[in-house]
Structure 1
Amino acid sequence: MKNLSDSQLYVLIQKRDYVAFDKLFDRYWDKLFKYAYNILADQQQCEDVLQEVFTSIWEKAPSKNVEYIPAYLYNSVKYKASNSIRSKKWHLDLDTIDLSDVTDDESLEIPSEDCRLVLLEESMSQLPPKCQEVMVLKSKRGLSAHEIAAHLGISTRTVEGHMQKGMKLLKASLTQVALFHLLKQSYFFYLL
């Protein structure tokens, strides 16, 4: 595998060869991480972007022909990083908001644990199918990434990518629910 070109590795990936995928991943991870870091300057965001790019490659390879792998990878990272910047511009981090004035008010309802579980279930049902399947195996059956990979017949890195994507989407979804709950309670002005 070491002597195979990127194009040869990609042909093997199209045939669902995990070893070829791992080789391409290892060959480009560091370079792409540095490239993404120059754009985002945030380690966690860079890791998220790269996981999305490599997960996308694995999922789309059988139906997508790519002629020049490096250009495809760098363009994908650039596109995902740009999307990350755009979405971050409108992201409101509720952890940074001082709600001390709000929490003293007796009219603020904190959702019960049952309600939170229902919200979590609803959010999980909105995940992409494969991502949802991985998250269910992880959260409800307690399987490790390696066990999930063996169960689904995919690589451990793909499972990790799905778990990372799932957690990111769940966090965003539940953050929106929390924000909606605050707005519903007429505390919008405390956020300004």
Structure 2
Amino acid sequence: MSDLQLHSDADLVSQLREGEEQAFTEIYHRYWDKLLAIAYMHTRDKPNAEELVQEVFVSLWNRRASLDIRFLDNYLAVAIKFAVFKHLHRNRRHTEIEHTYAEGDAFQLDEERIDAQFLKEYLEGVVEQLPERCRLVFRYSRDEYKSNAEIAQQLSISEKAVEANITRAIKILRLSLRKAGLSLLYFLIQF
């Protein structure tokens, strides 16, 4: 029997705040079975219950310096119930999503649409930041599908200036995508 087994919960919490691993170990041994019983009662799944108890203890250790615990048993009981609640909520949401998107293709298509919309809106924002002439040339080229000759005539500039502005816009867009961590997507943009 270790000396810590004789200590009160308040003493163990105090030692835990100071980073005493033995105090943490004693708390772990003292409350593991009780927390497991609570988690199992709600989940009816021993591996999940064990994982939830483990998460509570990891959180206790990670937050040890900032915790203000008056009654350790109550604190841990509430912590495990909250962990179970989060687990059940995640599982419910997962089940709802599976039922809503019974066909994996529908879910993947929606995800692809969201990604495409995000990319489109991001690029629109970058285009809006381009210098005025560069932005106009780029929009005429990509949005209105005008040829370089048509753009040159409309803006009263040379075709070389049109090409230079399009090249500049593309470089800025690619650089912006790389900076935003979207470098894997920039190859999708074929200008």
User: Could you state the TM-score of these two structures normalised by the residue count of structure 1?
Assistant: 0.49
Question: Whose relative contact order is higher, 1 or 2, with alpha carbons under 8 Å and at least 6 apart?
Answer: 1
